[in-house]
Structure 1
Amino acid sequence: MTPQEAIAALDKDIAAYGQPVTLKRGALSVETRAFVRGYKPAELIGGLKQGDSAVIFSPTGLKDWPDMKLKNGDQFVTAGKTRNIEIADPVYMGSTLVRANVTVRG
């Protein structure tokens, strides 16, 4: 699978099953889509807390975000609730960003 194929597959799934979200950093605000799910009790290790959520972004959805890089302290809004990005874990195939795995809290 090429990076472009991986991104296209993720884009298709997010379009079908993702939800609208807004990313904020200072005055910057970007609307996009992402997968959002809570962590299961067995996953609450290593500093994760009940109420934290896992979020998956496609690089396509981050195209209007600075350098397509999320960082600790950026804000995440979905369903009217503002939360803070705690961990941003980019996933690359070679040198190409193919997804961003993020933990949000709040």
Structure 2
Amino acid sequence: MTPAQAIGALDRQLAKHGQTVTLRKGNTTVGQAVVKAFVRGVTADDLTADITQTAKKVTLSPTGLDAFGLPGANTIVKHADGQGGIIGMPEIIRLNDIVVRINMVIKG
């Protein structure tokens, strides 16, 4: 699978089944990005001192993030059920050195 194929497959699934989220760098609306993402609850295996049952797993595509850039630890993710800051650093998945998926855990 090429990086373009992986991104295309994720983008198609997000378009069909994802929900709209807003990414913000800190507490500002300047330069925010509105993209589709999968937002899911965490499982019992995910729970740690920093990750509680109210945390959410968020998966998004790099598509639409050119101006925003990759989300970092100061990113706030606003979704249909509320909003939360990223716990730790996002997991950046690459194929052949190209970002194809971003996984992160957010508070509440």
TM category, shorter = 0.7 to 0.9
Asked whether the equivalents of residues 54 and 107 of structure 2 are also in contact (C-alpha less than 8 Å), the reply is: yes
**Gapped runs of 5+ residues in structure 1?**
none
Question: Which residue does 2:7 correspond to in 1?
Answer: 7
Task: Report the aligned-residue RMSD.
Answer: 1.6
Q: Distance in 2 between matches of 1:4 and 1:13?
A: 14
Asked whether the equivalents of residues 33 and 61 of structure 1 are also in contact (C-alpha less than 8 Å), the reply is: no
1:74 Cα deviation from its structure 2 partner: 0.9
1:83 Cα deviation from its structure 2 partner: 0.9
Question: Which residue does 2:24 correspond to in 1?
Answer: 24
Q: What fraction of aligned residue pairs are identical, expressed as a percent?
A: 32
Q: Distance in 1 between matches of 2:15 and 2:67?
A: 17
4+ residue runs over 3 A deviation: none
Larger strand share, 1 or 2:
1
**Gapped runs of 5+ residues in structure 2?**
none
Question: Which residue does 2:98 correspond to in 1?
Answer: 96
Q: Normalising by structure 1, what TM-score?
A: 0.88
Q: What is the aligned residue count?
A: 104
Q: Distance in 2 between matches of 1:18 and 1:52?
A: 18
Q: Distance in 2 between matches of 1:46 and 1:14?
A: 30
Q: Which amino acid aligns with 2:57?
A: A
Q: Distance in 2 between matches of 1:104 and 1:7?
A: 22
